[in-house]
């Protein structure tokens, strides 16, 4: 079991939304050699930058969170970029980590890797039973290749890599940029901005029928650390809260909690994305004792307060 706080850990994407919370959590648990390569110095899509990063930080553990991501709109506009950049980053980083002698590689995949019509709740064993939802398939498949690589490298090289599948995250420090934000920050921004500007309605995408599952960001950080410390297999593991909520219910809840008094107008010309998303989280509990703790309403309140205070 990896539990020695002296171990040298590199967190790619450590300055990002999930990464910043993960680094804080590692520090609070006493890990004292945690390094965050900055994108401007280490562009991990480039092979030489990866090698330079490994030589500089000499990690024993890599937690690979860095990704090029966005919501449905951003995925539709950048399928080639999202495929290439995520694929190159993950594939080269794992290979160079193996060659360098990294002791453990923690890869984070994406819920977008699941087939469009996977049975609910999503079981890890269903990952290959169909093609992902079209709007984010290039991104989902690029990230899914790390699972194939992880299993192949364990088989051939006995390389200790694991593959986690976090569900949609939310919480303070999320990305509220309307161009590439995910659904919760996008709705929060619309509601709070509309209330500030005295508007009497907001527009939401799709029909409102699609469902999603959401995990508070610090719960996810905790799951990653538990997996890093306790889990040493290449079988993929879902990281989620184990519930689903429709877009209609979610939007109504955010409207209520944000104090917006206007109406919600649904733009049905916009896509819903995957029809339903909800994870079976049994494996994470069995393998490394993870169970989400944050109450969803409380988490939403904290995220809304963060946006109101910082934007």
Q: What is the DSSP string of the chain?
A: ----TTS-EEEETTTSHHHHHHHHHHHHTT---EE---TTT--TTSHHHHHHHHHHH--SEEEE-------HHHHHH-HHHHHHHHHHHHHHHHHHHHHHT-SEEEEE--GGGSBTTPPSSBPGGGTTSSPBPGGGHHHHHHHHHHHHHHHHHHHHH---EEEEEE-EEESTT----TTT--HHHHHHHHHHHHHHHT-SEEEEES-S--EE-EEEHHHHHHHHHHHHHH----S-EEES-S--EEHHHHHHHHHHHHT--SEEEEETTS---SS---B--HHHHHHH-------HHHHHHHHHHHHHHH-
The third-level CATH classification (topology) of the domain covering 9-173+214-240 is Rossmann fold (3.40.50)
Mean pLDDT, consecutive 10-residue segments, the chain of 311 residues? 80 97 97 96 97 98 93 87 97 98 97 94 97 93 98 98 97 92 95 97 96 97 98 98 96 97 96 91 98 98 98 93
- pLDDT of 75 reads 83
- Extents of the domains making up the chain: 9-173+214-240
Q: Which residues are catalytic?
A: 139
- pLDDT of 3 reads 55
- pLDDT of 281 reads 97
- pLDDT of 71 reads 77
19, two tokens: 């990464």
């Amino acid at each position: 079991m990896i539990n020695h706080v002296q171990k040298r850990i590199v967190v790619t994407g450590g300055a990002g939304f999930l990464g910043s919370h993960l680094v804080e959590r590692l520090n609070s648990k006493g890990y004292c050699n945690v390094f965050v390569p900055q994108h401007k110095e280490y562009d991990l899509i480039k092979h030489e930058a990866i090698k330079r990063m490994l030589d500089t930080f000499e990690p024993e553990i890599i937690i690979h969170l860095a990704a090029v991501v966005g919501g449905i709109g951003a995925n539709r506009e950048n399928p080639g970029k999202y495929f290439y950049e995520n694929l190159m980053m993950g594939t080269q980083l794992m290979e160079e980590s193996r060659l360098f002698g990294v002791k453990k590689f923690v890869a984070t995949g994406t819920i977008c890797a699941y087939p469009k019509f996977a049975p609910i709740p999503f079981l890890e064993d269903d990952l290959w039973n169909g093609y992902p939802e079209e709007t984010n398939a290039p991104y989902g498949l690029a990230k899914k290749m790390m699972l194939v690589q992880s299993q192949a490298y364990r088989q051939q090289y006995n390389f200790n890599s694991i593959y986690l599948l976090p569900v949609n995250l939310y919480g303070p420090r999320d990305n509220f940029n309307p161009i590439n934000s995910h659904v919760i920050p996008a709705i929060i921004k619309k509601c709070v901005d509309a209330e500030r500007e005295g508007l009497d309605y907001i527009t939401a995408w799709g029909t409102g029928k699609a469902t999603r599952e959401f995990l508070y960001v610090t719960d996810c950080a905790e799951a990653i650390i538990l997996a890093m410390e306790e889990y040493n297999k290449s079988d993929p593991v879902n990281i989620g809260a184990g519930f689903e909520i429709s877009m209609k219910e979610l939007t109504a809840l955010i409207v209520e909690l944000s104090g917006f008094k206007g109406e919600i107008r649904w733009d049905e010309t916009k896509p819903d994305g995957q029809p339903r998303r909800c994870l079976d989280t049994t494996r994470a509990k069995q393998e490394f004792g993870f169970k989400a703790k944050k109450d969803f309403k409380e988490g939403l309140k904290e995220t809304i307060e963060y946006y109101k205070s910082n934007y």
